[in-house]
Structure 1
Amino acid sequence: MKTARLNHARRTALAAVLGGATLALLTGCMVGPDYQRPGDTMSTHYDTGAEQQLDHPRADGAPRVDFDATIDADWWMLFHSPRLDAVVKKAIDGNLDLDAASATIAQADEAIAAAGGALQPQVGFGAQAGRQRTGFGAGRATSNVYSVGPTVSFDLDLFGGTRRRIEETTAAADIQRHRFDAAYLTVTGDVVTQAIQLASARAQIDAVNDLLVTDRHNLALVQGAKTYGSATRGDIALAQSQLAQDETLLPPLAQQRDTAKHALSVLAGQGPADWVPPDFDLADFKLPSALPLSVPSELARQRPDILAAESQLHAASAAIGVATADLYPHLQLSGALTQASAGTGVGTLWGIVGALTGPIFDGGTLQANRRASVDAYQVSLANYRQTLLVSLGQVADVLQGIDHDAEEYAAQGRALDAAEASLQLSQEGFRAGDASVLAVLDAQRARQRALIGQIRARTAQYLDAVQLTVALGGRSDKAFLRRAGEATPTAP
């Protein structure tokens, strides 16, 4: 019978606490502003002139932009290089910055779970034991005492402070996800950039080595000509100077090559001595004929840094709700069920308590906290708008770069054609006896220099394509889930 009464009392206490909690959830409100996403950017173009220049096929072979195309998740496949694809995926799997960003997301998710626990009843357990003496004189008695039983408490969150705090924590977790996407975009962009730089350095080294062969042959001919009196010491000095000047081109290119190799190793999560990337050639890449270009209104929904700034704005909005809720009373229900004894008596004690607390005078602290949270929201809003403006400027810069680098490549192509025509004429004149071998060698040297210029111009075009894709966000959405193999990209 005693056990039945104990269980009934226990159920009664728990039901009262949980019933009150349910009533509070049904009737409670959430103070503070409900978050609204910022409106689309007022800009409808990045750079009108550049867009018009690149909106149609060009005779100089520059990539055009396509507003109707979308960026693929594996955007680097624009260059049609299986070797590049393999290295990028190796970097995605092994990059330590991405590992750190993944752990940060997991930490943020646990923070959401911890904050959400405050909406649940808090059940605890308490126990005490000891000895006590009661009475006086002959009526004194010493006995063992103990009490044991569960406790339950619940904050009814009448004004939504806890729910706003969960909203704020969730927005903070969203920031970390977008930062992962930004890190993913940076890693993939850096891999492609370094691979192109490596290929460019190797191509220029080959061209410089051919140029040095010509210089050395030229010097040998001049030295031989001096023996027969047909060349002067000044001619020899000039040939030596040309050779020495061209030899200075090799060390920077070798440094560019080695630096790119080391960077690729680090991006893949390996030491330079532990993994050596493949020797990329410019022939491994194909410049796309069209580059996807999203409109400015879509940019704000694609770039991870803009999305992170928006999530920061959301967190700041929720923080206003938290600070506002602190201005209002808090109602908490608590219950306890205790089995206690004193001497030979054993009994069951239970109680239900409702506690209402609220601020009356705090010296203006809570109001100041709320005003500060509103100010913090304004800071986040300005940062969001600035991030959006900077992104528009970056895309505009790259579009102009694509246009101007196409002009540079076309000019370098004309210079190479002219050098090759001059070389052909010199060779024909030499065979006919109208030109010296030195004239032929000079023409060969001019051709090699024009070839180096063309390699650099082509490299700039490849890098423009990378920079445009990265500036547009590179379809880095859900990169965290894709890296874990839990999601596939969807069309925007």
Structure 2
Amino acid sequence: MVAWIFAASLLLYGCQAHTINPSPEPLQTGGDVYSIPLPSSKPVDQNWWASFEDAKLDELIDEALNRNFDIMRGLARIDQADALTRQARAARLPQVDLEASVLRDWADGETRNRLDRIGGALAWEVDVFNRLGSAELARQSERAARVEDLEAIRLSLSAEVTTAYFDAVGQRAQLLLLEQQIEVDRELLELTELRFEAGLTASVDVLQQSSVLAETESLVPPTEALLRVAENRLDVLIGQAPDAVDRIDDSDRFVPIKDLPFIGVPSDLLLNRPDLRALRNELIAADAEIGQAIADRLPRITLDGSLFYGDGSDFTGPAGILLGSIVQPLLDWGARKAEVERSRALYVERLAVFSQAYLQAIEDVENALFQERKQREFLDRLERRRRFLKRTVEETRDRYTNGLTDFLPVLDALKEMQRIERIIVRQQRALLGFRIQLHRALGGQVNATGNGDPIS
């Protein structure tokens, strides 16, 4: 009878055997190249932000990678996954326990039987159908996913620090520009007042220029507020409470953006982006759980035994017991089958998430490339307009000084030039943002620094 059950189980296993795919691919593949023609370049073995060549930025990111509490969270999740992996691995090995017992049997006030026993007990599930092996692979894959999650946190953190850093630099540059514009407005106001005192112009010109000066000065407080917000963000990212101490000073400037980094082809994202690597490992874990659920419907073979030393009424000396058993689930009202179906549905869900994330990763790269290209064109045209406005301001001011025109052309040209100058600073910051987005979309390299302990 036992042999018949075992043979039937083997037949069932042969019909339902599950093969785990160690290298799943997304349902939708990317193209052979990106849609935007790119110059040839070679991969560089360095942190992605090193291309900015900014020593202060390097220091801030290094500090953040060693002190940020999101890093601590990622490390703790890896420790949890390590423990679960060790548990799954241990379940595949024989379990040995120390046992001791004392038996006394009394009848009519007299001891009839006595047995004292001490020894070791063994329990081992023979993993014929890879139930425990599948569970271990699932935990190993989940641990690998947690490691990739930590890499994704490091990449995201380095991008956030870079973003906050250039936000602060941008606001500091705006303040410096406003100081220069306020100085120009004051000089022009003095000129207008002198002409008014000499009877060469009307008082309305003085009022108009005073209004322009007041407008420029009114832009200072909100810019200072945005600077403080960026500075506070930097404090939090490096694991410190905001302290109202500026990390960015007037000497810090936007760095020139060099050539594009190595882009590769869309399929490279599957290897380079840690979030995609994490999703792939989650998919492998779900696949392994299908194998575990299928194996749970098949016979479970266990060996139980003990080796002990006994001292009793009928026997004294060493002894051993060995018991083998086969348990085949027969009637569970569809519970195990439902678990198989649930595991398969989970795999489909994770496959869809993985495929969608891959498409979005390609979209991120395409968007960043196109936005950076068009941003450069935009800045070139803004700079061309600024040069024309600068000449216009100089000529209209000379004509106004010589009494050849009224004040309105000077006022209009000056206000427009100042506005364009402020826009240029913002758009230079936006260009840096698109480069940061590109590095992040490509899965920019982050070499861990220090010991990785955020509270060390």
| TM bucket, shorter chain | 0.7 to 0.9
Q: 1:200 aligns with which of 138, 150, 170?
A: 170
| Structure-2 residue corresponding to 1:409 | 379
> 1:38 aligned to 2:11?
no
C-alpha distance in structure 1 between counterparts of 2:224 and 2:163, whole Å: 17
Q: SS state of the match for residue 23, structure 2?
A: coil
C-alpha distance in structure 2 between counterparts of 1:434 and 1:32, whole Å: 91
> 1:386 aligned to 2:356?
yes
| Structure-2 residue corresponding to 1:132 | 105
| Structure-2 residue corresponding to 1:189 | 159
- Give the conservation status (yes or no) of the 8 Å contact 2:209–2:411: no
Q: Write out aligned runs for 1:139-150 (5 A).
A: 140-141=110-111, 145-150=115-120
Report percent identity of matched pairs: 25
C-alpha distance in structure 2 between counterparts of 1:121 and 1:36, whole Å: 27
Q: SS state of the match for residue 422, structure 1?
A: helix
| Structure-2 residue corresponding to 1:269 | 239
| TM-score after normalising by structure 1 | 0.81
Q: 1:457 aligns with which of 423, 427, 436?
A: 427
- Give the conservation status (yes or no) of the 8 Å contact 1:80–1:286: no
Residue 387 of structure 1 aligns to which amino acid in structure 2? Answer: A
| Structure-1 residue corresponding to 2:67 | 94
> 1:471 aligned to 2:444?
no
Are the structure 2 counterparts of residues 191 and 370 from structure 1 closer, same or farther at C-alpha, using a change threshold of 3 Å?
same
Are the structure 2 counterparts of residues 299 and 399 from structure 1 closer, same or farther at C-alpha, using a change threshold of 3 Å?
same
| TM-score after normalising by structure 2 | 0.87
- Give the conservation status (yes or no) of the 8 Å contact 1:155–1:330: yes
Are the structure 2 counterparts of residues 274 and 118 from structure 1 closer, same or farther at C-alpha, using a change threshold of 3 Å?
farther
- Give the conservation status (yes or no) of the 8 Å contact 1:31–1:161: no
- Give the conservation status (yes or no) of the 8 Å contact 2:304–2:323: yes
| Structure-1 residue corresponding to 2:122 | 152
Residue 91 of structure 2 aligns to which amino acid in structure 1? Answer: A
After superposition, the C-alpha distances for 1:402-453 in whole angstroms (9 at most, x for unaligned) are 1221121011111121122223434654676656788667655544333222
- Give the conservation status (yes or no) of the 8 Å contact 2:24–2:283: no
Residue 342 of structure 2 aligns to which amino acid in structure 1? Answer: A
> 1:162 aligned to 2:135?
no
- Give the conservation status (yes or no) of the 8 Å contact 2:101–2:118: yes
Unaligned runs of 5+ residues in structure 1 are 1-27, 56-65, 486-492
C-alpha distance in structure 2 between counterparts of 1:423 and 1:238, whole Å: 16
Q: SS state of the match for residue 291, structure 1?
A: coil
Larger mean Cα displacement after TM superposition, 195-204 or 289-298 = 289-298
| Structure-1 residue corresponding to 2:300 | 330
After superposition, the C-alpha distances for 1:196-253 in whole angstroms (9 at most, x for unaligned) are 1111111111111222233344445545655565555544443343233323322232
Q: SS state of the match for residue 91, structure 2?
A: helix
Residue 355 of structure 1 aligns to which amino acid in structure 2? Answer: S
Residue 360 of structure 1 aligns to which amino acid in structure 2? Answer: L
Are the structure 2 counterparts of residues 284 and 212 from structure 1 closer, same or farther at C-alpha, using a change threshold of 3 Å?
closer
Count of paired positions: 438
Unaligned runs of 5+ residues in structure 2 are 1-12
Residue 69 of structure 2 aligns to which amino acid in structure 1? Answer: L
Are the structure 2 counterparts of residues 190 and 239 from structure 1 closer, same or farther at C-alpha, using a change threshold of 3 Å?
same
Q: Write out aligned runs for 1:159-308 (5 A).
A: 159-222=129-192, 230-232=200-202, 234-273=204-243, 276-279=246-249, 283=253, 285-308=255-278
Q: Write out aligned runs for 1:110-125 (5 A).
A: 110-125=83-98
- Give the conservation status (yes or no) of the 8 Å contact 2:310–2:316: yes
C-alpha distance in structure 2 between counterparts of 1:248 and 1:159, whole Å: 75
Shift, 1:455, TM fit: 1.5
- Give the conservation status (yes or no) of the 8 Å contact 2:144–2:278: yes
Shift, 1:109, TM fit: 1.4
C-alpha distance in structure 2 between counterparts of 1:405 and 1:160, whole Å: 56
| Structure-1 residue corresponding to 2:346 | 376
C-alpha distance in structure 2 between counterparts of 1:131 and 1:274, whole Å: 77
C-alpha distance in structure 2 between counterparts of 1:408 and 1:274, whole Å: 35
| Structure-1 residue corresponding to 2:3 | none
Shift, 1:125, TM fit: 0.8
| Structure-2 residue corresponding to 1:63 | none
Q: SS state of the match for residue 360, structure 1?
A: coil
Are the structure 2 counterparts of residues 143 and 154 from structure 1 closer, same or farther at C-alpha, using a change threshold of 3 Å?
closer
Are the structure 2 counterparts of residues 141 and 375 from structure 1 closer, same or farther at C-alpha, using a change threshold of 3 Å?
closer
Are the structure 2 counterparts of residues 148 and 276 from structure 1 closer, same or farther at C-alpha, using a change threshold of 3 Å?
farther
- Give the conservation status (yes or no) of the 8 Å contact 2:119–2:309: yes
Larger mean Cα displacement after TM superposition, 347-356 or 239-248 = 239-248
Residue 118 of structure 1 aligns to which amino acid in structure 2? Answer: A
Q: SS state of the match for residue 270, structure 1?
A: coil
C-alpha distance in structure 2 between counterparts of 1:243 and 1:461, whole Å: 30
After superposition, the C-alpha distances for 1:145-180 in whole angstroms (9 at most, x for unaligned) are 422110111110110000000000011111111111
Larger mean Cα displacement after TM superposition, 70-79 or 437-446 = 437-446
After superposition, the C-alpha distances for 1:286-328 in whole angstroms (9 at most, x for unaligned) are 2113332121011121111111111111111001000000110
Q: SS state of the match for residue 383, structure 1?
A: helix
Q: SS state of the match for residue 388, structure 2?
A: helix
